[in-house]
Amino acid sequence: MNLNTITEVRRVTGDENLDWREGDSWLAGGTWLFSEPQPHLRRLLDLQGFDREPLVVSEQGLQISPTCTIAELNALEAPPEWTAAPLIRQCCHSFLASFKVWNTATVGGNICMSLPAGPMISLSVALEGIYTLRLRDGSERRVAAEEFTTGDNQNILQPGDLLRSIELPIEALRKQTSFRRMSLTHLGRSSALLIGTLSPQDGTFMLTVSASTKRPIRLSFDQMPDARSLHERLRETIPDSIYHDDVHGAPDYRKHLTFHFGEEIRRELSGNPSA
């Protein structure tokens, strides 16, 4: 879609000091930005000038540039010791997106849209990601992925703030994982997306609930809980008001999926399907 109110497009690196104005917007892949009218916008700040590698594999884990496309992330050849690596492709394939969108949409764009069904949000929260933010005044702030999204299409960014990087720590990438997702149609938007991780070092079990809730919620247990303990923690942690409601699923349906998938994940990672 043409944005006929735009009077300037400026390519930036994300490092320079900018005179952020009312009517400005960051432009990464632009798959959402150009999908509907944006009459309040006057200037686009194009981030394709980012001079950094989309993906950096190191002894510390994986660093993802916010302008990395979903297709680039999906093509990553992860080290064999990253037992959590299958989650990357599972989440990449959880998009409601055409081939063109898949090759243009960015990891950072999906995170900053902060929709309940954002699979890059699910991935980074489940793998204990850390975001580096460049604030409008030029300073930087590091924040846990689970604290970034605050609601449906809501996050902690203020006008002019920018997501600079996403880091997934090596400890999380070496965990065992279990993935469950439901959508009302084969290639539809997620109604529920749950991810479980189990630490081989200390037995810590984490369950990340997303898509069924307005914001991602991660539960942590020092050891694998029994079915009753997991059920009680889900009930206590996620009030009914947090379950999302749209055409892709009613709150009661999403709550049912959350408890059902949570128990499936618990059983799978416990190594005892009847546990």
Residue 187 burial (C-beta neighbours within 10 Å; 0-12, 13-18, 19+) = exposed
Q: Average pLDDT in the 110-116 region?
A: 95
Question: Would residue 25 count as lying in a domain?
Answer: yes
Q: Which two tokens stand for residue 147?
A: 């604290």
If one compares 100 and 177, the residue with the highest pLDDT of the two is 177
User: Cα 37 to chain center, whole Å?
Assistant: 25
Whether the predicted pLDDT of 97 surpasses 90: no
Domain boundary (113, 145, 170) is at 170
Domain that holds residue 211: 179-270
Whether the predicted pLDDT of 251 surpasses 70: yes
189 and 265 in a single domain? The answer is yes
Q: Which two tokens stand for residue 19?
A: 């005179």
Number of domains in the chain: 3
Residue among 170, 218, 223 nearest 198 (CA)? 223
**pTM for the predicted model, two decimal places:** 0.94
Residue among 201, 224, 216, 221 nearest 258 (CA)? 216
Residue 88 is part of a domain; what is its CATH number? 3.30.465.10
Whether the predicted pLDDT of 275 surpasses 60: no
Tokens 């997620």 belong to residue = 190
The region of weakest confidence among 15-24, 119-128, 135-144 is 15-24
Residue 175 burial (C-beta neighbours within 10 Å; 0-12, 13-18, 19+) = buried
If one compares 186 and 54, the residue with the highest pLDDT of the two is 54
Phi, psi of 270 (to 5 degrees): -75, -15
249 and 183 in a single domain? The answer is yes
Whether the predicted pLDDT of 13 surpasses 90: no
User: Which pLDDT band holds residue 18 (cuts at 50, 70, 90)?
Assistant: confident
Question: Would residue 137 count as lying in a domain?
Answer: yes
Q: Average pLDDT in the 30-39 region?
A: 87
62 and 23 in a single domain? The answer is no
Q: Average pLDDT in the 131-149 region?
A: 95
Angle between helices 251-270 and 227-237 (to 10 degrees): 140
Q: Give pLDDT, residue 273.
A: 59
User: Which pLDDT band holds residue 45 (cuts at 50, 70, 90)?
Assistant: very high
189 and 257 in a single domain? The answer is yes
144 and 184 in a single domain? The answer is no
